[in-house]
Amino acid sequence: MQKQSLLKRSTLAVAVMAAMAFVGSPAMAEVTKADILNDAKTTNDVVSFGLGTQGQRFSPATQINTKTVANLVPAWSMSFGGEKQRGQESQPVIANGKMFVTASYSRLFAVDAKTGKKLWKYEHRLPDGIMPCCDVINRGAALYGNLVIFATLDAQLVALDQDSGKVVWKEKLEDYAAGYSASAAPIIANGKLITGVSGGEFGVVGRIDARDPMTGKLLWTRPTVEGHMGYKFDASGNKMDNGISGTTNATWTGDLWKTGGAATWNGATYDPETNLIFAGTGNPAPWNSHNRPGDNLFSCSTVAIDADTGKIVWHFQGTPHDGWDFDGVNEFVSFDFKDPKTGKIVKAGGKADRNGFFFVNDRTNGKLLNAFPFVKQISWAKGFDLNTGRPMYNMENYPGDPAAGADGKKGASVFAAPSFLGGKNQMQMAYSPQTNLFYVPSNEWGMDIWNEPVSYKKGAAYLGAGFTIKALHDDYIGAMRAVDPATGKIVWENKNYAPLWGGVLTTAGGLVFYGTPEGFLKGVDAKTGKELWSFNVGTGIVAPPVTWEQDGEQMIAVAAGWGGAVPLWGGDVAKRVNYLEQGGSVWVFKLHKAK
């Protein structure tokens, strides 16, 4: 009896100790809808692309500030390894002490955020026939529950267990053999997984999808080319009519809308105050504008989509009847705008468009509040009419119609600025509610462009244009600019010899961080632009930095590796920077502690 009693006590003690150990070391906390909605306000993690669904890329962290940033030193660096270098455009996400960062060729790494130790790696098996337009890049992953979810170059979505790296579900977005691909970071909007598609140069049809993030089940889909039908899906997966996108043939001729482009290749932002998803749409297909009379909705636009129904609530088209490949995919960043005319605070959004103009729209209805150049040379339009919301074209700057040429093979060439790589491209800007300024990575370049005959063939390039990109200045192409959305003034600028192709981070510490193709991660004063710190990571930076706090220390992280569209499409500009070296790694920095 005594032995049995002792045995029971011993067993009970072990059970209690195990329970205490469990309490002391809880299971990994799942990333919730509330975590994502609060991401912009918290400093202990980064659980969304954009450091908050509105995309401001502003952190309230202050430990690293204008006085301490000079003491920033490397904490660790991890190589992505192998020969799969190319461009690294990923924004890391961090939760529960783990960093999740994607890399070229559809790879995903889980890393101990404190030490840089690789925990696991997933390498997606890519088919030989993939057709990515602009390098084999990936821009990041989404976190939800215990999953980390990212898109692949063969147009699939993959969800993996955060702890083990095992595939939980996998879904096909579209047929890669038809030119579809995917590289944008998904986002979570009101508990739904939001994704887009790439492939505008192959005559695909752009769209935004909403899925159940835990299962991958499609909830609704919204095409972004006028004339196509959207759908919702019931609990059994049955299609339900969700309304046509616009009116068939209203802004497209004949059957051209069926291969209309408008790819949503740079992802989306989400504003919980209006429950709207804001997606930028790419170029209409083909580039040869003479093949497709009309405005070609909803290409080169911002579309505002109801997160629950998938319906387009409003749209704003930055470049109607685009003739220069001025994709309108750049991010729409929600912010509170003080109208200089009325003094009233307006729920607004800002967008630095590829076409060289910065737009401020009322995010509740799309009304154009302000439009001004953020680059110094624009040839295609004189400006925008704020009453109509339409550009005032320089019609002589449209590339000529090949059919009007003597041989019918090449239209008249024009010089246009900016180039089709844009006043700003995929690199994400930041907004500081402290300074009320946007920090825009800009580029000054132009191009000779001409049109050529073209017809659609599934899986083949669908351009109908030729081009040569040229620098406008000998001493710089890139310029980091602080822009006032109310006045349209450039408050300060930092010029850069090579094009800027990486995103921006701003903080409550009064700082702006950004990288350069020459390999420097820079920290500058948010009010003046004065450079306060820099570090050379040894390869070009074309990704956005992030910051978070861990064990009482503020950290800065950035993926590094030169590549992207510039060395592939840059013409004379690509030759100008062909000395830059590729790489593949993630770097983390923190303040040096004096011993």
Q: Which residues are catalytic?
A: 325
Write out the two tokens for 305.
């989509």
Write out the two tokens for 538.
């040894």
Q: What is the 3-state secondary structure (H, E, C) of 111-172?
A: EECCCCCEEEEEECCCCCCCCCCCCCCCCECEEEECEEEEECCCCEEEEEECCCCCEEEEEE
């147009």: which residue's tokens? 155
Contact criterion met (CB below 8 Å) for 487 and 340:
yes
Q: Comparing C-alpha atoms, which of 538, 494, 498 is closest to residue 516?
A: 498
Residue 545 main-chain phi, psi, to 5 deg: -75, 160
Contact criterion met (CB below 8 Å) for 442 and 468:
no
Q: Which amino acid is at 413?
A: S
Strand 546-550 and strand 553-560: pairing?
antiparallel
Residue 416 main-chain phi, psi, to 5 deg: -125, 145
Q: Comparing C-alpha atoms, which of 330, 329, 310 is closest to residue 201?
A: 329
Q: Which amino acid is at 199?
A: G
Compute the distance between CA of residue 559 and CA of residue 86 in angstroms, rounded to an integer: 12
Q: Which amino acid is at 238?
A: N
Compute the distance between CA of residue 464 and CA of residue 485 in angstroms, rounded to an integer: 36
Residue 569 main-chain phi, psi, to 5 deg: -115, 0
Compute the distance between CA of residue 111 and CA of residue 121 in angstroms, rounded to an integer: 9
Compute the distance between CA of residue 322 and CA of residue 32 in angstroms, rounded to an integer: 40
What is the CB neighbour count within 10 angstroms for residue 209? 22
